Chains A and B, each alone.
Chain A
């Protein structure tokens, strides 16, 4: 068994480790968590392509393919953790309760979560994601799924079933 990664795979592993640091650096110069994350991903992919060209010696397809898989894995892992930090509902509920510094009723907790807003602000924010991505449409103050929304729903149910979530 060969336990040593190829040169391109080593580059991918290093870039994977560098992605969180890159996101930290971008935090000082780029507004918007989503935009920052996309730019971080583009940066590591460009650096990987440069590494593929710049690393001396003959390219091995298995090595490059393995490197691509490793880098894509790191990007997905970072996205899962980054999105939890940035948009995680439950985590933000906890931090808002701790920041309040005193026991809160359910209503007060909701207000603390929204930092002065109300739960409606949160609802509209999540609904904006659904309407903005064309999954739900609003007509006469009524919400209805679009054809794309229906397709996504079937996909979600399939994923839930096949991953054991029921």
Chain B
């Protein structure tokens, strides 16, 4: 029964999270989508715990929390996969064309630089990079974040190219 309560809380999250995303866009909230997901998870988890305490005589928190965490993480995983994937954006743009095909050169020379500019704008909007005339420079916040990322990458032995390693 505790698992059922956790699953109900996960359904509540799956209903609440898109509503929060829609509201953020409708009211132009400057809250990152990931923060909205975290808010949705905290609220629905709280709802699940209260529901469990009220309706299950021997409510086992960790049984409910385990299935809730699994479902929510699955949701976040899917969300992250479709949110800003360069590969999927290329695929979607191909399918959205009337003829469903595009010259390789056009994708390489036009679409990918466009994606590049979009990501640069995200960094500028996020206060991590500043644009002075036609040049870009990292802000203090950007340098701090880059330092943290660099330390984590060294910790996990990850290179800093951002490319897929097809030697696998």
Query: Which A residues form the contact surface with B (CB < 8 A)?
Result: 1-6, 9, 20, 23-24, 26-28, 31-36, 62, 65-67, 69-70, 72-73, 76-77, 79-80, 82, 85-99, 102-106, 109-110, 113-115, 119-130, 132, 135-136, 138, 141-145, 149-150, 152-153, 156-157, 159-160, 162-166
Taking Cβ atoms with an 8 Å cutoff, the residues of B that contact A are 2-3, 14, 17-22, 25, 33, 49, 52-53, 58-63, 66-67, 69-70, 73-84, 86-88, 90-92, 94-95, 100-105, 107-109, 111-113, 115-117, 119-120, 122-123, 128-129, 132, 134-138, 142-143, 145-147, 149-150, 152-153, 155-168
B165 in contact with A66 (CB, 8 Å)? no
Q: Is the interface of A mostly helix, strand, loop or mixed?
A: helix
Chain A residues with CB under 8 A of B153: 85
Which secondary structure characterizes the binding site on chain B? helix
10 closest Cβ pairs, A-B complex: A27-B157, A164-B21, A92-B162, A164-B18, A69-B66, A103-B135, A98-B146, A66-B66, A103-B137, A123-B112
Interface residue from A27, A69, A156, A163 paired with B18 (Cβ < 8 Å): A163
